Amino acid sequence: MAMTVRLPEELDAKLEEIARARHISKHAVIIEAATRFANSESKTDRVLAIADEISERYAETIKRLEDA
């Protein structure tokens, strides 16, 4: 899918520096960064869902521990 991204000059310069140092294109740098971000967000969502499930499952036990 084609997409145009307008970046602030400072960020564009940083990406150019990274790309040059790694001998890859800015496009590749942006794809890698977006992939890392998406994976991180996905993991965060899963962790929060698991935490919600645990808190629901053990709500009574947690309440008893609060009162102890």
User: Would you state the pLDDT for residue 7?
Assistant: 95
User: Chunked in runs of 10, what are the mean pLDDT values of the chain (68 residues)?
Assistant: 91 97 96 91 83 87 81
How far apart are the C-alpha atoms of 19 and 64, rounded to whole Å?
55
14 in a domain, yes or no? yes
User: Would you state the pLDDT for residue 39?
Assistant: 85
Number of domains in the chain: 1
User: Would you state the pLDDT for residue 61?
Assistant: 87
Domain range spanning residue 15? 9-67
2 in a domain, yes or no? no
45 in a domain, yes or no? yes
- DSSP state for residue 40 in the 8-state scheme: H
User: Would you state the pLDDT for residue 17?
Assistant: 97
35 in a domain, yes or no? yes
21 in a domain, yes or no? yes
55 in a domain, yes or no? yes
19 in a domain, yes or no? yes
1 in a domain, yes or no? no
pTM of the shown model = 0.62
Q: Which of 10, 62, 7 is nearest to 30 (CA)?
A: 7
How far apart are the C-alpha atoms of 13 and 57, rounded to whole Å?
50
Query: Where does the chain show beta strands of DSSP type E?
Result: none
